[in-house]
Amino acid sequence: MEKLIISACICGAEVTKEQNPNVPYTVEEVVREAKSAYDAGAALIHLHVRWDDGTPTQSKERFQECVDAIRKECPDAIIQPSTGGAVGMTDLERLESTDITPTPEMATLDCGTCNFGGDDIFVNTDDTIVNFAKIMQEKGIKPELEVFDKGMIDTALKVADRKGLLNHPMHWDFVLGVQMTATVRDLVYMAESVPAGSTWTATGIGKTAWDIAAATIAMGGHVRVGFEDNLYLSKGVLAKSNGEMVAKAVEIAKLLGRPVATPAEAREILGLAPLK
């Protein structure tokens, strides 16, 4: 079984300080959380950014500022900007995160429309998926194919087969507990639905986070933890930092016999070029 890549989704676009006061908004807070995760064993930082009041933004200037600051503290981490942004953003606005220098090694590519609770709809039309894939291919960015149910896997494969815009081997991120239930049954179904040779990461939202993390590690997948997906270290106990959650994932991995990948090893597993 290959080494475990731990991704830290340090802030997201929707969670707030009212829910957990340690959620980062400012550049300094984002760096603090990225470093805590990196120091604990995360090879990859999945990055959303906010304005200082917590409002989510895809501003390339804000992304550039945060990435530059993180790079000073976490020099070899894989920094993966989100192109998901927040509900209601336009496609062009969401893609601003890929306009930074140097061009990101990876970025997320959401592969379908889904319900985000209440009347919030996260819209990703077929045209959006094709356009995002085309732009990432032109820029040499490896997409992390973010999928919330089995149908989104099929949509991504349709783009790969008909348009030639997604290269094999693909890397997937299964986000369970939003549109599809977060059970081991569903995790196995998703893992068995991607092409042979793919790599995949999984995360469970909220109270399912640690069940999915443990199952994913045992199955040979890679794991994502952090404030974007879950605010609690255990039932009723708010996490003090992303680093605490990464450390818990590391401990689970040790118990299950999975060594944790360094950033250099993660690049090799994901098929990324070595860091210069």
Q: What is the pLDDT of residues 178-228, one digit of tens each?
A: 999 999 999 999 999 999 999 999 999 999 999 999 999 999 999 999 999
pLDDT score, position 88: 82
Partner residues linked to 202 by β-bridges: 174, 223
Q: What is the CATH number of domain 6-270?
A: 3.20.20.70
Instruction: Taking residues 246-253, report their average pLDDT.
Output: 98
Give CA 269 to chain center in angstroms: 16
Q: Tell me: pLDDT of 1 over 90.
A: no
Of the pLDDT bands very low, low, confident and very high (cuts 50, 70, 90), residue 85 is: confident
Confidence of residue 38 (pLDDT cuts 50, 70, 90): very high
Q: How far is CA 244 from the centre of its chain?
A: 18
Confidence of residue 116 (pLDDT cuts 50, 70, 90): confident
Mean pLDDT of the chain: 96
Burial class (CB in 10 A: 0-12, 13-18, 19+), 75: exposed
The answer, yes or no, to whether residue 59 has pLDDT greater than 90, is: yes
pLDDT, mean of residues 47-68: 97
Q: What are phi and psi of 32, to 5 degrees?
A: -55, -45
pLDDT of res. 252: 98
pLDDT of 87 above 90: no
The reported pLDDT for the residue numbered 101 is 97
Mean pLDDT value of segment 122-143: 95
Strand-pairing partners, residue 80, are 46
Q: Which residues partner with 142 through β-bridges? A: 106
| pLDDT (mean) for 28-57 | 98
| Residue spans of beta strands (DSSP E) within 62-133 | 78-81, 106-110, 114-115, 121-122
Overall average pLDDT of the 34-38 stretch: 98
Report whether pLDDT(120) > 90. Answer: no
H or E, element range at 69: helix 60-73
Answer yes or no: are the C-beta atoms of 90 and 98 closer than 8 Å: no
Amino acid at 140: G
CA trace torsion 172, 5, 83, 60 (10° rounding): -160
